[in-house]
């Protein structure tokens, strides 16, 4: 009997995460899924200034290779390279470049069975799927989506696409009961936009959980897409 083909999943990092840092943060999940899924990690195109934050540590751009530099998908102020998930932004600066980067990754590195996003990356993944559902040719709808510490992105254009009509694809929503960065009600609001959404809660905070109990939930969700 032939072995099942691993599912290929494009994983979008959170704000202020480097590509290498995100690979490390998803290491336990990659190990937990083993041959079930291949995780391809992608961080944002925009460098984030040297500042401590919930999703990364301080970094000196000059001494770091590109894969270790903290990055983001968009900024919520015109003049400052900052982002707040819980406030209405003045702008969504850099979003178009990020959409182009994701489209390029889907084209060059795909095909992918699913998308996984963490925090700001989860909001972007949901937005990409909303664009795909609206027939944007850059973003073919994946077979599934996994959103960890996700939220409905705020700002002009986001609400119209994300909240106007439900997203019709299987989804798993993972969030922590004690997450101080993205409170659980934010993740639940996003889950409400996807009919049939499966939720996986954990007692921790702002991270991607991969303990034994969560591993079983991931595998159960992914098994329905195995070939």
Just list the catalytic residues: 119, 179, 206
CA 121/CA 107 separation, integer angstroms: 18
Are 53 and 66 within 8 A, CB to CB?
Answer: no
Among all chains, which residue has been given the structure tokens 């990690």? 41
Those residues with Cβ within 8 angstroms of residue 42's Cβ, 6 or more apart along the chain or in another chain: 10, 11, 12, 13, 19, 101, 102, 105
Q: Is 14 helix (H, G, I), strand (E, B) or coil?
A: coil
Token pair of 137, please? 């040719």
Owner of token pair 């079983």: 216
């Amino acid at each position: 009997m032939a072995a099942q083909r691993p599912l290929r999943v494009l994983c979008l990092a959170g704000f202020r995460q480097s590509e290498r840092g995100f690979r490390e943060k998803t290491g336990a999940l990659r190990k937990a899924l083993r041959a079930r899924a291949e995780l391809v990690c992608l961080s944002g195109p925009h460098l984030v200034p040297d500042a401590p934050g919930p999703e990364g540590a301080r970094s000196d751009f000059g001494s770091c290779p590109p894969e270790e530099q903290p990055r983001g998908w968009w900024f919520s102020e015109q003049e400052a390279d900052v982002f707040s998930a819980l406030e209405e932004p003045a702008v969504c600066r850099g979003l178009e470049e990020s959409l182009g980067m994701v489209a390029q990754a889907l084209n060059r590195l795909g095909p992918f069975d699913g998308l996984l996003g963490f925090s700001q990356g989860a909001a972007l993944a949901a937005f990409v799927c909303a664009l795909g559902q609206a027939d944007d040719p850059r973003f073919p709808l994946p077979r599934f989506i996994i959103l960890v510490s996700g939220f409905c992105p705020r700002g002009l254009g986001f609400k119209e696409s994300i909240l106007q009509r439900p997203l019709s694809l299987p989804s798993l929503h993972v969030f922590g009961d004690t997450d101080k960065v993205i409170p659980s009600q934010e993740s639940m609001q996003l889950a409400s936009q996807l009919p049939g959404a499966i939720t996986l809660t954990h007692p921790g905070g702002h991270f991607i959980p991969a303990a034994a109990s969560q591993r079983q939930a991931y595998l159960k969700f992914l098994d329905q897409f195995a070939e």
